[in-house]
Amino acid sequence: MRERFSVVKGRTRQELTNLERIVGRAERAIAAVHCRPDEQDMYVDSAALNLPDFYAGLKRLFRQIATVVDQSLPSGPEWHRELLIQMSTDIPQLRPAVISAETARALDEYLRFRHVVQNVYAFEFDGEQIERLVQRLRPSFEQVRGELLAFTEFLVQLAQGE
């Protein structure tokens, strides 16, 4: 089990590095909207396309935790939302909650926005909504990063106790 937990820790650190890049790209795109209003659509589109990538990276980590640690991956049409709920749930005798309920609520907004990007034309994006999501992105990322790193330390402690 120790090796599996080490893999989760390594993948978490790698994915957090990738997520940092995504957050920076979305922030730069929104900043460019204000600097180059003549190309506003292009920068809003860029920011919008990075938002689902942010959630996708977290989903990959959550799936790995559900598979390796919980040994239970949700299924069905609402499995994405169920996975988020599972990560914010303390499972007695197995693990503490991976993320807080507050973080899960913040991430749910990015989960829902993923559906928007998949189902509307880019020219239909709501620039104000995207800007608001990008403004909340860094704080959401910092919160989830701290919680994920704390969780990986829990795994290390658990593995050392074996």
Is the pLDDT reported for residue 1 higher than 70? no
- 125-149 pLDDT tens trace: 888 999 999 999 999 999 999 999 9
- Closest by CA to 45, choosing from 150, 116, 145, 111, is 116
CATH code at position 98: 1.20.120
| Separation between Cα atoms, residue 99 and residue 151, nearest integer Å | 8
8 A C-beta contact, residue 152 and residue 6: no
One-letter amino acid at 6 equals S
pLDDT at 11: 92
8 A C-beta contact, residue 96 and residue 69: no
Query: pTM value?
Result: 0.91
Is the pLDDT reported for residue 23 higher than 80? yes
- 50-72 pLDDT tens trace: 999 999 999 999 999 999 999 99
% of the chain beyond a pLDDT of 70: 98
Is the pLDDT reported for residue 107 higher than 80? yes
Is the pLDDT reported for residue 43 higher than 90? no
Which domain covers residue 82, as residue numbers?
2-160
Place of tokens 């909504």: 129
5-29: string of b/e by CB count within 10 Å (b at 16+)? beebbebbeebbeebeebbebbbeb
| Continuous H helices in 36-126 | 40-65, 79-87, 101-119
Average pLDDT over residues 18-31: 96
Number of domains forming the structure of the chain: 1
